[in-house]
Amino acid sequence: MWGQGIIKGLRVTARNFFGSYFHKSRLVTVEYPEQKRPTPENNRNFPFLVYDGDDPEKGLRCVACKICEKECPPQCIYIVPEKDERGRPRKHPHLFDIDISVCMSCQICVEVCPFDAIKMDQEYELSRSNRFEGLLLHKRDLAKPNAYYRQIHPTEASLVDAELEQARQQQAAKEKPAAGATAGPGQPPQ
């Protein structure tokens, strides 16, 4: 029947309008920015760097291997590894920038990272008052604690934590016999 779609739409609007006086679930809008809807766990937009412990610099999981930089389709990641006194690269980023105005939120950087060092964020209030700052995020903007990762993606983060713990235990078990072998003759392993 002609106009059936319009009548259906009006019926839905009326049901929500009058229903909102009786059921909170019918209130489909919130007064943003004072009120914000909880973000679903699977929501993702741009990457951030995870760090362990309290130090956002020392605790960074990133080892500056540059795999994510190579694999990023629009090439919006820029990494410069730290150098030691002889100019050899250290396993730590000196610079780690992501231009989120170019990032297409594909999550490939997350999938290729062998160290679970980069994950997808849910932060959406990213506008800047200074136009010269742009949307180029630096290491200090990107570094966020593992506790934050657990808060926004609890299921995924608990799996990652379990895998990392297992890897740590395996590494410790591998190192034990080596430590025992270094003990002197007649001395018990440390």
Q: Min. distance of Cβ 100 from ligand SF4 in angstroms? A: 7
**Angstrom distance (rounded) from CA 89 to CA 83:** 4
Write the Ramachandran bin of 66: left for phi over 0, alpha for psi from -120 to 50, otherwise beta. left
Indicate which single residue of 48, 51, 97, 103 sits in contact with ligand SF4 (rule: CB under 6 A). 103
Closest distance of CB 145 from ligand SF4, Å: 16
* Binder of ligand SF4 out of 104, 147, 159, 172 (CB under 6 A): 104
> Which one of 3-11, 56-64, 138-146, 174-182 is the stretch in contact with ligand SF4 (CB under 6 A)?
56-64
Query: Using the rule CB under 6 A, is 118 a contact of ligand SF4?
Result: yes
Q: How does DSSP assign 125-169, residue by residue?
A: ----S-TTTTTEE-HHHHEEEHHHHHHHSHHHHHHHHHHHHHHHH
Q: Give the contacts of 176 (CB within 8 A, at least 6 positions apart).
A: 189
Cβ distance to ligand SF4 smaller for residue 105 or 158? 105
Over the Cα atoms of the chain, what is R_g? 24
Does residue 143 touch ligand SF4 according to CB under 6 A?
A: no
Q: Does 115 interact with ligand SF4 (rule: CB under 6 A)? A: yes
